[in-house]
Each structure stands twice: as C-alpha cells, then as structure tokens.
Chain A
C-alpha cells in the first residue's frame, strides 16, 4: 500500500455493541463446577445411611437429620465447634488489633530498618507451617500450652500477624497523612485523630482483612491436629476423624462438612458488601 492509498481509507460506521451472551455461558459453567460438589455434599449430609452408601446416586430422597443427630448428640461435636469459634474470633481480634498498630507504624514512620522489617514480615508468611511444627510442639509442652485454647489463640495470632500487617500497611499508605494532621491541628491528640479520623476511613479494609484472617484461623488444620487432643480440639481435626478408615460414612462426613462450612458461608454472605468494598479500597479512587 502506497502512502497515497492511506488517504482513501475512511472511518467505518460506528461499531454496534456486541451482545456478550457467551459471558453468561462461562459464568454458568464456572458456577456449576464450583457449586456442584458442595451441593452434593450438602445433599449427602441430609441422607440416611442407606441412601448415602447406595451404589447408584439418587437426586431425590427423604431428607433426615440422622447424621446431624449422631454428630451433635452422640459425638458432642458442638464442643469442638465452640472451641473453633472462640479460637478463631479471639485470634482474629488480637492479630488485627496488634497488626493494625504495626502496619500504621510501618506506613507512617520512617525509622532505621523499616524496609527490612516489612520484608521480614512478608517472608514469615512464606514459611511452610509444618517446618516449625516440632519446635512449636516442644515449646508448647514446656509452657504447658498443649491442648489449651489459649495456646491456639497465641499461635494463630502470631501466624496471622504477618498477613494482617502486610495487608493493612498498603491500605494505611493510601490514606493521606493530612487527615490526621488536620485533626491534630483541630485539637485532637494523636490517638484521638487515629481513632476518629483514620480508623473510620480504614474500617472497610480492616473488615476485609478480619474476614480473611477469620477464615484462615477457622480452617487451620496442621497445628490444631498436633497441638490439641481433647480439651481444645477444633473443628478441622475432629472432622478429619470421619474421613479416614475402611468404611467411610458419607452422610456423617457430609453433615460434618455442613457444620464446618455453614458459619463461613453465612458470615461471608452477610459481610460480602464490606468485603468487596474493603478489597477494592485504594483501587477505586474518588
């Protein structure tokens, strides 16, 4: 094409807006792949023993709470449920509160070795938990923390701290310092400015971080298995018991899965607005 030919080309008509029907097909496909297994396990949990172990799976059956009855009344799984709740809530609370101040310091103050501290915090997160299982076990044994809720709370708080610090540091950096400065000139102390100006602005991010930490603590399996036996046993290791052995009772396993996942599903459903707005903080600028 010569240079002169270039001038013969005119702008085409405005492109018509394509209807992206295939987007919905993909969404449906993704939903199916994601929800089918969960739907199946929920159904299994509501089956009786016979239907659950039948060789030909059925879609229609008479729902029963037989498996739940077994777990809750005979096995007393609600005690583990309570342990899980206490440990998850307490460790979330402590790690977020402590982590918030650490993150604030990292975001706001310029001190020697600040970058090293940030990097070290991040690398803590990279270590596989199993690598330190044994030293932790011995430490807990010495401190008489084995099989106590307090032990798990301390451990989970320490484990989640790097994540909290790492997430919140970025969010704190996005909040301009002038808000606090303005409040301090207006007559606030540093802490008042932090509490009344910075924290309300940080709330969505803190909520989102808390949800993540809560989920991680609730689901934690490795340490819970090795460090607890009866008193402080949480949900993941107790459910583990029903998924091993020669004859797995599928309906009981299904019921157990419902019990461990239901709180999380409900929790995230209720908090989903805060979760999304928190995660998109800093991305969407006003």
Chain B
C-alpha cells in the first residue's frame, strides 16, 4: 500500500505528444479514476505507471520509491487489462497462482492464498477450468483475483468492465467499490464511461488530448467543472451549452441568446467578473435538470419553446425543446409532467434555475462562472 506521485509526466511517440504535463498525487488507499475520451492518454499514463511504457520525461514514484524507469517486475503493481490478459493455456487456478509462482512462493502457501482470493471473488467452483470455458463476468472476476492475490502496492485497472453487458457492469460497480474500500489498496482505474467514474471514484482525473483538465471529487467535477469539456463530458444527458452575450438592462443582467433572453442573478454576475463579462461572446451552460418546463408562460418560465422530441426513460422524462434554433434537453420527473401533451411541435415555456448557470470562455473553454449554488470546495488542478 502506498501513495502515488506523478510529476511533470511527458510521453511522446515520435512527434506525437500522448501525455503532457500530468501532475498527480494519489493518497494511500484512494480510488482514483482516469476519465476521458479514447485517445486522451489515460491508458498511456496507466501503462507508464505499470512500467510497460517508459516516460519521455518526468518522475513517477510509488510509496517513496522512484520507479520512473524501473522495469515492471520491480514495481510491485497489480494490473487488470482491458481484455483481461488471462493465459488461455493455463487453468483459472494456474492464472491466479502465476504471480505467486513467479516469486517462488511455496506450493502450500500459493494454494491457500489462491483459495482465499477465489472465495472473495466467488469463483471457487471454476478454479480447474480454462479461461475459454468461462463467461465474461467470470473472466472479469478471475482477472481481478489475479490482481488481488499479490500484496501489490498499487492496483491498476485498464477499462476492466468495458466488455461486460450493462446489467453486469452495474453489479460489478458496487462490488468493486466495496472491495477496494475493504482491501484499501491505492487503485487507479482507467475508463471512458463517466457513469463508472462518477459512481465509484474518490477522485477523478479528467483528461483530454494528453492534458489533465481537472483532478477533483466526483461532486466537484459535476458541480464545478473546470472547462466546458469537463462539464459536457460528465453527466447524462449532457449539459446544454450555447452561445450568448451578457447585456445589462434596467432590471439587471441578462444573457442574450439566439432567439431568447435569460435573466441572470445580479450578485452572481458581479462576483464572477461583472462588467468584464459584458458584450463578449460567451458560452452559457445549464444542466437538463435545472430547466423547468411549464405549459404556460409565466415569471418563472419566460422562454417560449416548442417540443422537438420526447424521450421517456422511466422515472424521468427528457423533453428536447427547440428555442429559436437552439435545442435544449430538459429532464423532469414523469409524475410531474404526466398530463403534458407529448406531440412534437406543442408549445411550452421553460425557465432556467438562476442558481445553476455556468459561463464558459468561448475561446479557451475555461469556466468563468460556476453555478452560485454549487459546492464551493477547493478546486485542484
């Protein structure tokens, strides 16, 4: 068990910069996720931690040990690969026992440890089978068992659940989270699935194009995203973001968008930059759950909208609204909107919750103003 420190990590493949300027400190026992779209450098970062890829520059330490250019076998890390990397010519027992055998552990001890881990992962009855006789879920368990069997300092997981079907994945999420907290080994988990990261992580590192965008708790990532990319990447359905200009009238600030105006909270605009924000093209963001829908226009629902598409998801309904060319997704509980007319083209009125609006710089994508009701914890990175 150990903490991980990564300083100024850089990895180039020829001229291509895969990972740049990554600085991370992961506490002992923490469950940290590397989240990002494919090709963002998250797997490369993980492979550098495992020693399967050597960094171009920077420093990696596990515990207090500098492991930057150390070969994998000396690092004492456990790893689960995307397609498990189980040896198909060995039985499940042989697979799990392999890391112990390599280290020359006595046979009786291996037997005891493997049985122990198999019990934890509930795979005792398949120990004598070969990997090709197992189901996807069982393979997953075997791969995790092989990682657990060693007393590794750090666990690394490279999209281990991407091959499972949705139902099994939901089940494994809870199980894995529980297991990680029970064993308490520092774990780094790579995924492109924001739901996985949000539900399991202690902290999330969001990456894009080899850059680290934000390193924070799931709640902070969700409520105080560092950039427009983070804001739209996390959350399902994703945040509505569109162009606007902030103007001032007698009654206060408002955001003028194509076809409609959004009244803004004066105090919020003043603390977020005030006059500096005026008359610039900015990006206004609002999450679907912070748009309320009404059949009639009133003070709380000043914006006229037409229903573009209706998407029921069970307990909640998604109404995709068309407001003068801008499409906005809204999310409301099914019970509250049961009486709504769901025919496309029906007139509606919508209103934005002024406490949950976001402003992004349209050039750099950086967040200029967080929702005034969001958690004001410290933002790292």
Contacts and interface: CB of A to CB of B under 8 A. Distances in A.
Interface in B1-55: 50-52
A201 B88 CA distance: 8
Interface string B96-128: 001100110000000000000000000000000
Contact of A179 (B72, B85, B102): B85
Contacts of B339: none
Nearest to B89: A200
A8 B91 CA distance: 58
A184 interface: yes
A179 B50 CA distance: 14
Nearest to B146: A186
Contacts of A201: 87-89
Nearest to A201: B89
B81 interface: yes
B87 A179 contact: yes
Chain B interface size, under 10 / 10 to 19 / 20 to 34 / 35 or more: 20 to 34
Contact of A182 (B71, B85, B89, B150): B85
A182 B102 CA distance: 12
A179 to B, nearest CB: 6
B132 interface: yes
A186 B89 contact: no
B243 interface: no
Interface string B48-73: 00111000000000000000000111
A184 B89 contact: no
Interface in A169-208: 176, 178-179, 181-189, 192, 197, 200-201
Interface in B270-309: none
A186 B99 contact: yes
A174 B226 CA distance: 42
A176 B150 CA distance: 24
B200 interface: no
Given A181-B52, A286-B88, A187 B81 contact: no
A185 B89 contact: no
Nearest to B130: A286
26 contacts: A176-B85, A178-B81, A178-B83, A179-B85, A181-B50, A181-B81, A181-B85, A182-B79, A182-B81, A182-B85, A182-B86, A184-B71, A184-B73, A185-B73, A185-B75, A185-B78, A186-B99, A186-B102, A187-B73, A188-B73, A188-B102, A189-B71, A189-B73, A200-B89, A201-B88, A286-B88
Given A182-B85, A186-B102, A192-B102, 11 more contacts: A179-B85, A181-B72, A181-B81, A182-B86, A183-B102, A184-B73, A185-B72, A185-B75, A185-B79, A187-B102, A286-B132
Interface of B: 50-52, 71-73, 75, 77-79, 81-83, 85-89, 98-99, 102-103, 132, 146, 150
10 nearest interchain CB pairs? A182-B85, A186-B99, A187-B102, A178-B85, A184-B72, A185-B79, A200-B89, A187-B73, A185-B72, A178-B81
Interface of A: 176, 178-179, 181-189, 192, 197, 200-201, 286
